Amino acid sequence: MGSDFNGTSASDSFVKTPTIKFTQLFINGEFLDSVSGKTFETIDPRTGDVITRVAEGDKEDVDLAVKAARAAFDHGPWPRLPGAERGRIMMKFADLIDKHVEELAILDTVDAGKLFSMGKTIDIPQVAEMVRYYAGAADKIHGEVLKMSRELHGYTLLEPIGVVGLIVPWNFPSTLLFGKVSPALAAGCTMVIKPAEQTPLSALYYAHLAKLAGVPDGVLNVITGFGKTAGAAISYHMDIDKVSFTGSTEVGREVMQAAAKSNLKPVSLELGGKSPLVIFDDADINTATDLALLGILFNKGEICVASSRVYVQEGIYDEFVKKLQEKAKDWVVGDPFDPNVRQGPQVDKKQFEKILSYIEHGKKEGATLLTGGKPVGNKGYYIEPTIFTDVKDDMLIAQDEIFGPVMALMKFKTIEEAIQRANNTKYGLAAGIITKDLNVANTVSRSIRAGIIWINCYFAFDRDCPYGGYKMSGFGRDFGMQGLHEYLHTKSVVTPLFNSPWL
């Protein structure tokens, strides 16, 4: 396997681990220890070593954060500021993120194993742009005048939904955090954020920058801790008005149950995926293989829209497999601070072992291992890019979300077969289509039950493009103006009209 794993440890890495500045909870504008005084370790996946210990928030800490957020919403200035003033503070927040881009990128690399080069040039700069995008929308939130059917004057108001709980995953700790924080701030909401326990460090740094930018105390609170405790406390809380959750389908179901059992708060859920990439005979082989590898190996496969099921039409299948195998062998796995590396370590030992167990399942079920399948090196959580052929649709590796660099490669004959098999999943988050035939692209894109379809591209995200799922991939949307409306209530106001010359 051409992994080129360099075997570097944290001490001789390309970038030294920074001094960690913030490890406490952030409540009402202050960094505080947890009520219990407990802390937990956050681990560097490059080595398995402890980076630092972080405050472990629990129900009592969530209660304090919600109390602060409720006071800030009910009595504070944030929801009452003109939208333009909220936007001005958000613009300053974005500028501060740009100013600290390198340190933020380092935190996400040491905490999540993400490529430093991508974080510094793409992830963190796009976070700042996301904040600016919604800052520009903050003074454009308005309802509409209604054309009533009788002697009434009616209009709608769009009002902030209130205190929101934002539960964020570990695979994109900055990008997905700000897909929620930015529209919530623009709408005038206050919030309690729970970052994933695997990746708490950057969220605490962003809280510090929010305070420097002038976001009022109590508007943005961060509780680091575990899902079973802090996450559950947010989901069940009677004084939280909405929860937005990104993560697994299993936990999403628990969040929804908690919301129903407490105060019937609305929830937005962006959950798992098993996304198909459908490649037709007329596709350019080089482009198709590049997109197929990117679709499953980007961010070491730890991405909910990963194209983990690749369907290739029989006319080009053999040539595609040969080219794919060649390119996979040149994919460089190693220290994520190395600019030549394309794939860093999985986020933690649990995820590492889960992926390897699925690879063993694939072998036992009769799939053929084309490339990879093994750990890389003797330290850290690195796995070779892994491709299976001879995969059947009912195999675990074709049905379950593995969340790692594991591709299930399959052959199809007709467009009808491709559509049927692409839809043969409980998920519906994303799909890709590679073809030069516009009619085929139109037919397939309208037939696949998924929230976003990419034609002749993959991972083509944009802050203006709504993103979310069908089926068991969840509901609600992040990004775009739909993402803003997730944090707004519609209120109708009606008054009688007397002796009006027209309705």
**What are the tens digits of pLDDT across the range 292-336?**
999 999 999 999 999 999 999 999 999 999 999 999 999 999 999
pLDDT at 13: 60
What does DSSP assign to residue 80? G
25-271+475-489 architecture in CATH? 3-Layer(aba) Sandwich (3.40)
Task: Provide the token pair at 181.
Answer: 């924080």
**C-alpha to C-alpha distance for 404 and 184, rounded to whole angstroms:** 31
Mean pLDDT of 459-466: 97
**pLDDT tier for residue 18 given thresholds of 50, 70 and 90:** confident
Q: Which residue has the higher pLDDT, 186 or 7?
A: 186
Residue 149 and residue 491 in contact, taking contact as beta carbons nearer than 8 Å: no
Which amino acid is it at 386?
T
Residues spanned by CATH 3.40.309.10 within the chain?
Answer: 276-463
Task: Provide the token pair at 157.
Answer: 């108001």
Rounded to 5 degrees, φ, ψ at 15 are -130, 130
Mean pLDDT of 116-125: 97
Residue 461 and residue 479 in contact, taking contact as beta carbons nearer than 8 Å: yes
When the pLDDT of each residue in the chain is averaged and rounded to a whole number, the result is 96
Burial of 15 (0-12, 13-18, 19+ CB in 10 A): middle
Q: What is the pLDDT of residues 50-82, one digit of tens each?
A: 999 999 999 999 999 999 999 999 999 999 999
Distance of alpha carbon 192 from the chain centroid: 17
**pLDDT tier for residue 241 given thresholds of 50, 70 and 90:** very high
Burial of 37 (0-12, 13-18, 19+ CB in 10 A): exposed
Residue 387 and residue 328 in contact, taking contact as beta carbons nearer than 8 Å: yes
pLDDT at 503: 79
Mean pLDDT of 264-282: 98
Mean pLDDT of 434-459: 98
| The CATH number of the domain covering residues in 276-463 | 3.40.309.10
Mean pLDDT of 180-207: 98
What percent of the chain has a predicted confidence (pLDDT) above 90? 95
Give every strand in the sheet of 145-146, ordered side by side.
145-146, 152-160, 488-496
What percent of the chain has a predicted confidence (pLDDT) above 70? 97
**pLDDT tier for residue 9 given thresholds of 50, 70 and 90:** very low
Mean pLDDT of 14-35: 91
**C-alpha to C-alpha distance for 183 and 354, rounded to whole angstroms:** 34
Half-sphere exposure of 376 (CA within 13 A, CB side): 27
**C-alpha to C-alpha distance for 335 and 341, rounded to whole angstroms:** 7
**pLDDT tier for residue 16 given thresholds of 50, 70 and 90:** low
Residues spanned by CATH 3.40.605.10 within the chain?
Answer: 25-271+475-489
Q: What is the pLDDT of residues 390-431, one digit of tens each?
A: 999 999 999 999 999 999 999 999 999 999 999 999 999 999
Residue with tokens 């976070």: 127
Residue positions annotated with a catalytic role: 270
